[in-house]
Structure 1
């Protein structure tokens, strides 16, 4: 686009390239498609299929199907076609559609209604569905659109009320399957196993149709999610318009310190220019606060530039808004009333948000797959613009120093661990509440079922009688098992001046996000938190006009619970993988000026600790002189090396750095030596740190390259400083980390981690 010519970017672009358009491969509608469905498609102007849609049509006749093609490739039609054909031929048949976000279900319901099929009775069944409407949906709807949370909380535990539905369940659609990875994916994999078990109880074995963005392991991922193999359709035959791709790096403002202009300010600068030119744009950010700040800065810039009417056509979109607020923003986006939206990845997914021209991704979203999904939101109907706007984060700058490798990098594998002990135990408790479990349920839950059930008996969650395991607790298990976080409850954020409910935040994240004194942003308005009551689940806020933001300071303790794998190198370095317990306490917060991020002061807090058990890798030095690091530099060297490894671990595992925690200490209480921990930041863990252990040599080499290549003198956000550091990046030693990582890389040279023995508990 001309608006991003080299003359207009201030030298900020790292690389520019163009993707060619791709021609389509069309085929006729299937001869055996039901006539009513064929006629409905004709009314919408659909008289042919892309070749991959035909492949999905044929594959579903043989069993489960996983469709893994690009954005805007017609995956919805690929799974709708066989489902609609079944419903047309069998008027008692039922289908269940699962979406990770409510907006997606709303979007699909609109598309199904547009077909005008007389036999089709779609209905949304989620937390926003009025209770008075629910009995009729259970009784009459033949397509129920919901999400994994409602399936887990409302449908499976009450399967008796859904008996007619389950007796006729023919198909289950799992859309946006790539989203189900990590902790969330491991939970959903167990929910789908529970679904298959309940369906079998009512005599049905539904076909699963999964739709996913492009990932490296669609077959393995589909099998991990549903517990059975699926045929993969991945040869994308849909047309694609040409696209301009720009990597945009904010300019250095202090070369010695390695400081760059704010990515948020740069994003607002770019977005305001696009809006002023009336280019319809979506701007993605990882953080809730970032969304609000970019929206605020963009609006201010447009008003300053005399474009106030256009400023009203830009809105933020993120989690924590009320359902009404989200629906209103989505409607304005689809209608074209909005010119731009600043969003979290809630709008990365397949909701139809109209004809967009440009997509900006501010900082690396964690995976190449997510980046390409975000870029694919623009240019669906004509030539598009895709921008990656780097932050000063170490990984972003690492990628900017290697742009060709970055753009050529293949998409990652999705990591799911349905047999993660903590997660599976929770879902077996839920399953025992739904129906008594027996040894025959190994077909759904795997060979470790009876071992896990004995554990549940020991902790008093279930009781065994005659080989049948039943819930013995008076509690309702699904309420105690959150799918998306470690928190079973949320905290309501209330404006005390008006009594208005602004939004919610997970309880586990509340001490860090809405502690007393925190600056909280909502729909572009700043609020100061005046009170947090975790017992009642309420945070009180009031409007705030200051020019600072807040960053929490944490105190973290790690204890080794079990060592699963361990290796000692000839140099004496010990590398371990196993289970740890983490105790995290928010002890203070720092106020920083918005304009230059300079600290103002540090304010103490007294808040309860959060505790969880997770997986970790850790390395233990043989002595304080390893790598020739000076004794007084060792704490900073360990801390900086930990940050560098965490920064590059997302290149090896499908995650982002916010999924990873770390701790470094010059003398750990249990090892008695200098030790660095890198752990999964979610209870139970899902294999992120295990990937780091298995590929520790690569992890160390990448971290060394990150530190070695950064031109700063003493360490900066582009190498060893972390935006999520609980110690506010103190102490850090770049030179010490360089020497330490070189010694680690040398110690790991030639060491194989493929067949490491499993020692006893620590």
Structure 2
């Protein structure tokens, strides 16, 4: 973490909401030891360039109408790189990664709205909804975009497949809807020019290993229909963005890791709840401590997001904060704090996001559903109650605040060993680099399951399969023949039972159950 560290009270900070909030919520912890360490990330100026003349005039006009008259340097670099290679763009929160992939895609669609198609993949429904709203702001003439996910009414899906030239969806829908039923998607896939994978850093571990196989299956089906789409990936800051992109898709990528976006100053606090029993080392609950700090911040006028790792934690922090505000005689503020977690209906999620964006809410208590790049309006402060597991996730959470103006970020330690280790060694925490995102698409159970699914879509062994599926897939296919899943014939490895499909493969599990192929 690049930061100017200081133990002094008088950090170089202008008069602002953050300054007031720090004084009311953070400074008291300096005296009693709860404030373990602090740092300052200084502001960075933008590196802007003019809109390129080669953009379609209709797109240029749409961008200018939306207030986009210049680009950040990394957005222009991505636009140029996409002409010759697959591209992965990595930069900070609120750095304009969406425009980096929207420009080449919308330019192609503006020039050929009938013959060009694009598929956008998002890890959450909320993120797809947010991006769909942004597309309306910069849509050139001829763009017909739609969301296609589990919330899409079934009666609307055929028209979306037939009419849309840009579809926003997620890997699960590609896995269970597009690929097994590719004949329904034939016209769309045959014209597929771009596949965008946003927030690619999410695809690590078991989930990432599954998604890597889904993307290879997508490449196979696209090739069957004569398409060879360009892949554009975006990622938050991680240690290995280029390696991750190439492992996810199986092609060579060009990395764009410069960041021309401006950055506001951010003041960072490490916070440890107070001891309740010195002999045992017991400390006050991080949920109660976070609630008190949230009440302090809201009272001081700072619009705040507080992250916690569980649904139960979300509900408790909201309740504790409301109780504390009532105790202070500010029950009116309690009504302007809302929970945000998985399990809400699409309408509930979107209403909370809209209230945040409008400024009707002063604070939201969230699980990591809001870690990703949803535009929820301008926030002043972010609290992370407990270490979220990776520095990359923590940085994403902190990045929700101070996106366009000075911000405040708090890491509040929990009671587990890693949190308390960081509090004893704050330099280890503040200097800790972001982690690599690791996946293994050749994991035996995972790849074998997807080979069975791929054989349903097209017999294995077609032209290009060695390139797409990689070394060793034939040995795995032979094993599946022996296990009774596949049969080998003149056309290659085919599914033995045509009634089987991909629905039995969970993208989030590598257990034996996850590779069971079930009846359609």
Same fold (TM over 0.5): yes
- TM-superposed CA distance for 1:15, in Å, is 0.7
Larger Rg: 1
Maintained 8 Å contact 2:118/2:166:
yes
Partner residue, 2:226: 203
Partner residue, 1:189: 212
Partner residue, 1:99: 122
- TM-superposed CA distance for 1:258, in Å, is 1.5
Pair 1:3 & 2:3 matched: no
Pair 1:256 & 2:276 matched: no
CA offsets, 1:180-210, max 9 Å, x none? 1111111111000001111000111100000
Alignment match of 2:39 (pick from 8, 11, 17): 17
Alignment match of 2:493 (pick from 469, 486, 491): 469
Maintained 8 Å contact 2:59/2:139:
no
Please give the secondary structure, in 1, of the residue aligned with 2:181. helix
- TM-superposed CA distance for 1:138, in Å, is 0.6
Partner residue, 1:272: 295
Maintained 8 Å contact 1:221/1:414:
yes
Aligned 1:522-671 pairs, distance under 5 A: 612=511
CA offsets, 1:519-573, max 9 Å, x none? xxxxxxxxxxxxxxxxxxxxxxxxxxxxxxxxxxxxxxxxxxxxxxxxxxxxxxx
Partner residue, 1:295: 318
**Cα separation, 2, equivalents of 1:7 and 1:132:** 57
**Cα separation, 1, equivalents of 2:107 and 2:498:** 44
Richer in strand (by share)? 1
Maintained 8 Å contact 1:69/1:214:
yes
CA offsets, 1:637-680, max 9 Å, x none? xxxxxxxxxxxxxxxxxxxxxxxxxxxxxxxxxxxxxxxxxxxx
Alignment match of 1:430 (pick from 442, 453, 463): 453
Maintained 8 Å contact 1:439/1:450:
no
Maintained 8 Å contact 2:268/2:410:
yes
Alignment match of 2:472 (pick from 424, 439, 448): 448
- TM-superposed CA distance for 1:469, in Å, is 1.7
**Cα separation, 1, equivalents of 2:92 and 2:383:** 18
**Cα separation, 2, equivalents of 1:134 and 1:479:** 18
Maintained 8 Å contact 2:109/2:117:
yes
**Cα separation, 2, equivalents of 1:476 and 1:293:** 44
CA offsets, 1:375-412, max 9 Å, x none? 11101121100100000110011111121221112111
**Cα separation, 2, equivalents of 1:471 and 1:7:** 66
**Higher relative contact order by CA 8 Å / sep ≥ 6: 1 or 2?**
2
Alignment match of 1:67 (pick from 64, 69, 89): 89
- Moved segments of 4+, more than 4 Å: none
Maintained 8 Å contact 1:262/1:391:
yes
- TM-superposed CA distance for 1:463, in Å, is 2.0
Q: CA separation of 1:139/1:306 partners in 2, compared to 1, >3 Å: closer, same or farther?
A: same
**Cα separation, 2, equivalents of 1:7 and 1:431:** 58
Count of matched residue pairs: 491
Q: CA separation of 1:30/1:353 partners in 2, compared to 1, >3 Å: closer, same or farther?
A: same
**Cα separation, 2, equivalents of 1:472 and 1:289:** 46
Partner residue, 1:352: 375
Please give the secondary structure, in 1, of the residue aligned with 2:173. helix
**Cα separation, 2, equivalents of 1:442 and 1:322:** 43
Superposition RMSD on alpha carbons, in Å? Answer: 1.6
- TM-superposed CA distance for 1:276, in Å, is 2.1
Please give the secondary structure, in 2, of the residue aligned with 1:253. strand
**Cα separation, 2, equivalents of 1:456 and 1:291:** 45
Partner residue, 2:355: 332
Richer in helix (by share)? 2
Partner residue, 2:168: 145
Partner residue, 2:256: 233
Alignment match of 1:117 (pick from 140, 162, 182): 140
Partner residue, 2:13: none
Maintained 8 Å contact 1:52/1:234:
yes
- TM-superposed CA distance for 1:475, in Å, is 4.9
Partner residue, 1:458: 482
Maintained 8 Å contact 2:273/2:284:
yes
**Cα separation, 2, equivalents of 1:311 and 1:66:** 42
Maintained 8 Å contact 2:384/2:412:
yes
CA offsets, 1:622-648, max 9 Å, x none? xxxxxxxxxxxxxxxxxxxxxxxxxxx
Unaligned runs of 5+ in 1: 487-611, 614-681, 685-762
Please give the secondary structure, in 1, of the residue aligned with 2:179. helix
**Cα separation, 1, equivalents of 2:280 and 2:395:** 32
Maintained 8 Å contact 2:213/2:450:
yes
**Cα separation, 1, equivalents of 2:381 and 2:310:** 20
**Cα separation, 1, equivalents of 2:443 and 2:462:** 19
- TM-superposed CA distance for 1:305, in Å, is 2.0
Maintained 8 Å contact 2:180/2:501:
no
- TM-superposed CA distance for 1:336, in Å, is 1.5
**Cα separation, 1, equivalents of 2:438 and 2:190:** 33
Maintained 8 Å contact 1:291/1:317:
yes
**Cα separation, 1, equivalents of 2:27 and 2:69:** 46
Please give the secondary structure, in 1, of the residue aligned with 2:449. helix
Please give the secondary structure, in 2, of the residue aligned with 1:157. coil
- TM-superposed CA distance for 1:320, in Å, is 2.0
**Cα separation, 2, equivalents of 1:111 and 1:476:** 39
**Cα separation, 2, equivalents of 1:253 and 1:3:** 26
TM-score for both structures, normalised by structure 1: 0.63
CA offsets, 1:193-242, max 9 Å, x none? 00111100011110000010011111100000000111000011110001
Alignment match of 1:90 (pick from 87, 93, 112): 112
Maintained 8 Å contact 2:506/2:514:
no
